[in-house]
Amino acid sequence: SVDCSCRSEEHGVEVVWPRGFSLQQALARPRPRRVRESWPPECGTNRWLEAGKIWYQRPGKDESERVWEMVRRVKANVAKDGTPLEATDVLAVVRRSKREPAIVLVLNYRPPVDAWSVELPAGMVDAGETALEAGIRELREETGFIAEKDRGVFALCYPDPWKSTESYLTCTVEIDGDLECNRHPKPKHEDDEAFAAVLLVAVSALPRVLTLLAEAGCKLEARSVGIAQGIMLATEMVAPSGQ
């Protein structure tokens, strides 16, 4: 485990409030506790999500209960290691000779926003799969691309912890775009899916392309925007090695 006890910026983290705290001290501060929760009785009509309420109390003897509305998945599958695992997405980078590496994006119709959503390939983890296996499978189903190299699985992510317990693991893979199977990929979409296109976006062009897609009426999924912001930070604010 990482030692968070230092007050310096050894790990690249500085606690600016509360003043004088180490990261370890900040993480050890008393936090609110969940008191009770309420969920509708199982009726078998909800396939993915259900809404409920939780009550919590902040630290302090006289603190009254506060209520919070939230949603959760009806059911989570179990991964190979026996832990519950809901979903995965995959950051797939296509490498082709004499061309800039490109990121795979999909234009996926999302009924809640009634628009094409710009997203990474993603989906539910099937029972018995690892996050990486699910990510590679979803990549092939949604885009037709076949991943060649695994670059790792990131920590468990919570895309909207203010309203949901939904979580996913995100994977990074590389695709050899010069292979015959990846030159003209053919997706295999399910009947309840609606995609407009599979896109390859040059890494350096991602921030600009997302802006153009938003202006065209697409909705930007948070992960795609986060990656674009990361590229901008790395390009504009992080000095190259040796400078």
β-strand pairing of 149-153 with 168-176: antiparallel
Please compute the mean of the pLDDT values over residues 223-227 and round it to a whole number: 95
pLDDT value of residue 60: 78
Beta bridge partners of 85: 77
Query: Are the beta carbons of 84 and 77 closer than 8 angstroms?
Result: yes
The three state secondary structure string of 75-130 is: CCEECCCCCEECEEEEEEEEECCCCCCEEEEEEEEECCCCEEEEECCEEECCCCCC
Q: Residues 227-232: what's their mean pLDDT?
A: 94
DSSP secondary structure code for residue 180 in this structure: H
Per-residue pLDDT for 124 more than 80?
Answer: yes
What's residue 2's pLDDT? 52
* Per-residue pLDDT at 44: 63
Q: Cα-flanking dihedrals φ and ψ of residue 213, to 5°?
A: -65, -40
Q: How far is it, in rounded angstroms, from Cα 187 to Cα 98? A: 25
% of residues, the chain, pLDDT over 70: 90
Average pLDDT over residues 133-137: 92
Q: Is there a contact between 154 and 145 (Cβ–Cβ < 8 Å)?
A: no
Assign 195 a pLDDT band (cuts: 50, 70, 90): very high
Is residue 41 over pLDDT 80? no
Q: Tens of pLDDT along 149-193?
A: 888 888 788 888 999 988 888 999 999 999 999 999 999 998 888
Q: What is the pLDDT of residues 88-103, one digit of tens each?
A: 899 999 999 999 999 9
What is residue 192's DSSP assignment?
T
Q: For the residues 73-78, what does the mean pLDDT come to?
A: 75
Note the pLDDT of residue 96: 96
